[in-house]
Amino acid sequence: MSVSFHQQVRVGAYVLRQTLAGRKRYPLVLFLEPLFRCNLACPGCGKIDYPAPILNKRLSVEECLSAVDECGAPVVAIPGGEPLIHKDIGDIVAGIVARKKFVSLCTNALLLEKKLHLFKPSPFLFFSVHLDGLEEEHDRAVDQKGTFKIAVEAIKAAQAAGFQVNVNATIFDNMTAKQVADYLDFATDLGVNISISPGYAYERAEDKDHFLTREKTKNLFRDVFRIGKERGRAWNLSHSTLFLNFLAGNEEYLCTPWGSPTRNVFGWQKPCYLLGEGYVSSFKELMETTDWDSYGTGKYEKC
């Protein structure tokens, strides 16, 4: 199981149009953060330590849909914070789906069963549930016991209601290759697509000691993929072979930060979702005033 053929075709057509138009830089995924407030306090998160006045801010439905229109990316990821806390999240998602954009609603799933009635199953919508390992590893990562069981039950409820569900795992250096492989076995048997990523260092995160370095990432995922071969498992990874080769240290790529612009309660974040160096008021200003040549080369200390 991987990205649907429908999504591949639509995103591929979008990329082709940009190429034919001679555009060197264009967005693929808009990261739309309608709020920073969350109902968990994960130590590896760099969002939830803002003061209360910031955590209480919300983007309106109009601001969210305006950002989608302004940016034009074919895929919209809605992280946070916890998006299901937003009282208008149903209207936000419905408006994006009506524009025939693919929506990945990222959630810790604590409120998912309660809020399912706000959404309608659609080939343009899937829930991306944070599931950072099996029960012990996940509950430790989010610093709250019982969350793994709640998330798994919510996943099953969403699947039963006809929704597409993905799980999104952030891997830190306190997990072994076997633990990661066991998790991938479990998620595959659960019948969900799997996105997996090393924990990237947030400057504002409480726990800065367990982010994976590039060398640790390479060694870990080489061992993970070796275990997968030994077990004869075909995991439901939604990544391309290019990204999997990158995780295992077999390939190196230049980053394209303009491909993942971020709109949040402060404005358009420069230059991308993982790196904040100021804000501007419009997507056009983001694209035209950011010194893109300073990023993505591997030479900038924060990248």
Q: For the domain covering 5-294, report its CATH number.
A: 3.20.20.70
Please give the structure tokens belonging to residue 111: 């409120």
State how far Cα 64 lies from the chain centre.
17
User: Under DSSP, is residue 72 helix (H, G, I), strand (E, B) or coil?
Assistant: coil
Domain boundaries, the chain: 5-294
pLDDT digits (tens, 9 = 90+) for 209-234: 556 777 888 899 999 999 999 999 99
Phi, psi of 155 (to 5 degrees): -60, -45
Distance in angstroms (rounded) separating the CA atoms of residues 196 and 177: 13
Interatomic CA distance for residues 165 and 153, integer angstroms: 12
- pLDDT at 246 (0 to 100): 85
> How far, CA to CA in Å, does 106 sit from each of 38, 103, 153, 242, 254?
12, 9, 16, 23, 26
Candidates 113, 62, 126; CA nearest to 88 is: 62
pLDDT (tens, 9 = 90+) of the chain, 303 residues, equals 457 888 999 999 999 999 999 999 999 999 999 999 999 988 777 677 889 999 999 999 999 999 999 999 999 999 989 999 999 999 999 999 999 999 999 999 999 999 999 999 999 999 999 999 999 999 998 999 999 999 999 999 999 999 999 999 988 888 899 999 999 999 999 999 999 988 655 444 454 455 677 788 889 999 999 999 999 999 999 988 888 898 888 888 888 999 999 999 999 999 998 888 999 999 999 999 999 988 877 667 776
Residue 168 confidence (pLDDT): 93
Choose among 132, 156, 170, 191: nearest CA to 1.
191
Tokens 């260092």 belong to residue: 201
Bridge partner list, 171: 198
At 213 the pLDDT is: 76
Q: With helix as H, strand as E and coil as C, how does 117-177 read?
A: HHCCCCCCEEEEEECCCCHHHHHHHHCCCCHHHHHHHHHHHHHHCCCEEEEEEEECCCCCH
**CA–CA distance, 178 with 187 (Å, rounded to integer):** 14
For the entire predicted model, the pTM comes to 0.92
pLDDT attached to residue 164: 96
In contact, 135 and 109? CB cutoff 8 Å? no
Q: At what angle do helices 214-231 and 177-190 cross, to 10 degrees?
A: 60
Q: What is the pLDDT of residue 203?
A: 47
Q: Work out whether strand 75-78 and strand 267-271 pair parallel, antiparallel, or are unpaired.
A: unpaired
CA 82 to chain centre: 12
